Amino acid sequence: MTVAACAAAHGLTATEAARRLAEHGPNEVTADHRVPLWARIAAQLRDPLITVLLAAVALTLAIGDHPDAVVIALVIVVNTTVGVVQEVRAESAVAALSRLSAPAARVLRDGEQRKVPSAGIVPGDVVALAEGDIVPADARLVESAALLVDESMLTGESLPVTKAVEAAAPGDDTVRAGTIVLRGRALAVVTATGAESALGRVATLLRPRPEPTPLQRRLAGLGRVLAAVAVGLCAVVFVLGLLRHQPPGEMGVTAISLAVAAVPESLPAVVTLALALGARRMAARHAVVRRLPAVETLGSVSVLATDKTGTLTEGRMVVERLWTPHTTAVVTGTGYGPAGGIRLDGTADDEVKGLLTTAALCNDAALRPPTGGDGEWGALGDPTEAALLTAAGKAGLDHERLREAYARVAEAPFDSLRKRMTTVHHTPGGRLLACLKGAPEAVLDPAVLAEPPELLEQARNAAARLAAEGYRVLALAERHLDHLPEAPEEAEHGLRLLGLTALADPPKPTAAATLAVCRDAGILPVLVTGDHPATARALAVRVGLLSPSAGPEAVVSGHAIAAGEVADLTRTRVFARTDPRQKLDIIQAWRGQGAVTAMTGDGVNDGPALRQADIGVAMGRRGTEVARQAADLVLADDELATVVGAVAEGRRVYDNIRRFLVYGLAGGAAEILVMLAGPLFGLALPLRAAQILWINLLTHGLTGVAMGAEPLSPGAMARPPRPSRQHILGAGVWQRVLLLGLVIAAAALGAALWARGSERPWQSVLFVALLAAQLGVVLGLRERLLTRANPFLPGAVLASAALGAAALYLPFLRGVLETVPLSWGDLAAPAVAGLLGFATARLRKQGI
């Protein structure tokens, strides 16, 4: 035991621990201050479009149109409720950090070991750690034995880290809160708890609130425009009516009705329905949406920052290459299961079996057969050692029988100073066999191997080539002994080199194709990982992010970012050895360039970037709770390919929202033009206020909402994402609104003038023609005219047409709307208006 260990052997007294607990507070991450429910509701109601709808409710109540007021109010209630519920669910990321912490820990108090709640641990406590424990707080080692810790959740590093009191590298003598002990044992003195620990520092990065999504920003801008238009129209129509000596009361009601018509009050309902349907479709594709606006945001993503381990890769170490002095071999198959084999480049099969026999014997891991319905094998212990066992199995070796036949009698565990592990076994022939594995620089040494210099140089060159390709390389050797040494380390000389194993976390079979689809859709993939630069570069080449000729300079390290050596982070495609703060810097750099960013991740270290990105995507199976709670989208199958389907769904949603705006605003514009231009043609008051509101209810109601369920447009994934700063009516949409509005208005006025000239009930003809032209437009805007993917839309059009007819033929509605029945001959002009609306909409249906 070291001097420090002796000093810490008794730990703190209970009295001192209580004093420090009062001073430093509990060892837990405190959550953000909870926002009251009323404040959340008020924030939703401050949305400009909702403000317009609230004004519309007041106006419709003022004119006595209670049905319209109820419909608009219901839209407000549903939209606000959905927004509040999603916001509450999205803000539990910091609380998840507390759940991730170790629930209890073993500490030394008053000279004896006690089990205390993790929240009760204080700086200065001596914590006992063993295999399977979650480290409860940041601590410095004072005693350790073969300690191996999984830090991937904090660092993104796919390989476990060896920890020891006498560390070979800075930080290797400390353990951090939330990490997991894979092997060994240790005593450690706590140095930081709660918010001061590694988990606490990540929590401080999680707290900044996310900005509005692109859809929310666009709709807010549209709401402000519509509010101004509505107020302006009220004034213009009212003043013009007074100038024509119309009764002030009647013109006031008409002006208010037009203002309501100018606002597509069902837009929030359309948006909510489109997003909800998108969320349901994504769930069917194993993508669980946590915030509804994230559905549309995915469709606007222009940069996809993806992590490596478990997202682009399998998340398991696999032996892929073997080297022996006389042959090389390729190992096929992924995961820890027996599927796969070994393809030799030569004929030295015995050499390969000897190499893998030693790899299986000098090994403390175990393989676990499938227990669930997924059919996947698992591993206990070091993932690297489990990969070696899997490779041995593919060579036809049964590691359980090997261990029975070669009973272990001594061992020298791997540590970060020696960088090798040695075991001694009884052989079936009654002799002793020493098996050694370790880093090439610690094994390919004349002091360890009794091999000629030429062979050692050949092996070093082979190891260097494999390492440059991103592999983790291990060298293996053996030696027969005449007697059992007093210490296993005494057997670490005079050994015979067996060969090299090259291990990697291989890319998923779908990774390269998925990234290619992203590029075709105009989405730029960027790799951000905590792994070694060589490993990151090798993977980037394999999945097509970098060309094979790209040098090491193509990969930027977190150290270079921290040192300010990278002038423009958006010029790099692969980042390695990044910490949570640097991941945030990368996301913010892209957002500063106007990009809409998506970030994938699964670890605690990914949480801040997941929350900061426009859309955070977490892995559902292997991801931490922190990552899942910080994300907007959770992939239940951990497949990046699922993101592609989610992007397509997002584009479908956005297209449908814009298609509804074209339809709704064109109809509103047409009604306004009819009311303004009608008097110029001798139509003193073209439409009554009740007629305007009835048309508005039929077109913006059921029919408009049904547009939110339209299927994906052909070619949607072959076009680039829309610029984040593009107005929702940009890219020619407002011009199309005006064109359709003019055509609808001209067709309706033409029908009215024809009816007046032939002494027919012109106002009722105008009423039906305006409705028919808008229903023609909604059918003409369909990308796939005869598709069965959305039967609700043609059904809604038929229902609206039937309700329009009811306004003419049902006595009660005739009295309310002041209409008269029309003959079949009277309906000819409205039918022509409907056909004109349909034909105009079909002229340019692509690219809504």
Q: Which residues are catalytic?
A: 307
Q: What single-letter amino acid sits at 414? A: F
Nearest to 112 by CA among 19, 11, 17, 18: 11
**Is 296 within 8 Å of 654 (Cβ atoms)?**
yes
- What secondary structure does DSSP assign to 662-674, as a single string? HHHHHHHHHHHHH
Distance, CA of 264 to CA of 275 (rounded, Å)? 18
Q: How far apart are the first and last CA of the chain?
A: 73
Q: Which residue has the tokens 């007294």?
A: 13
**Is 676 within 8 Å of 240 (Cβ atoms)?**
yes
Nearest to 479 by CA among 410, 438, 431: 431
Nearest to 342 by CA among 359, 358, 357, 322: 322
Report phi then psi at 504, rounded to 5: -155, 160
Distance, CA of 21 to CA of 122 (rounded, Å)? 6
Supply the DSSP symbol for 605: G
Q: With the C-alpha atoms ordered 672, 675, 680, 686, is the resulting torsion angle positive or negative?
A: positive
**Is 295 within 8 Å of 287 (Cβ atoms)?**
no
Residues ≥6 apart with Cβ < 8 Å to 590: 303, 305, 526, 569, 570, 597
Pairing of the two strands 574-576 and 524-528:
parallel
Distance, CA of 526 to CA of 570 (rounded, Å)? 9
Nearest to 687 by CA among 807, 515, 827: 807
Q: Which residue has the tokens 């424990």?
A: 133
Q: DSSP H helical segments within 34-163, as ranges?
A: 37-45, 48-62, 66-90, 93-100, 152-155
**Is 769 within 8 Å of 833 (Cβ atoms)?**
yes
**Is 641 within 8 Å of 510 (Cβ atoms)?**
yes
Q: What single-letter amino acid sits at 817? A: L
What b/e sequence results for 589-608 when a residue is b if at least 16 CB atoms lie within 10 Å of its CB, and e otherwise? Answer: bbbeeebbbbbbbbbbbbbb
Residue 742 burial (CB count, 10 A): 15
Helical (H) or strand (E) element with 129: strand 126-130
Identify each DSSP E strand in 439-507 by its residue range: 472-481, 496-504
Q: What single-letter amino acid sits at 11? A: G
- Would you state the structure tokens that stand for residue 35, as one six-digit string? 């926002």
Identify each DSSP E strand in 314-419 by its residue range: 318-324, 327-331, 342-344, 366-368, 378-380, 408-412
CA angle 829, 834, 838 (to 5 degrees): 145
Angle between helices 511-520 and 641-677 (to 10 degrees): 20
**Is 485 within 8 Å of 292 (Cβ atoms)?**
no
Classify burial at 459, counting beta carbons within 10 Å of its beta carbon; exposed 0-12, middle 13-18, buried 19 or more. buried
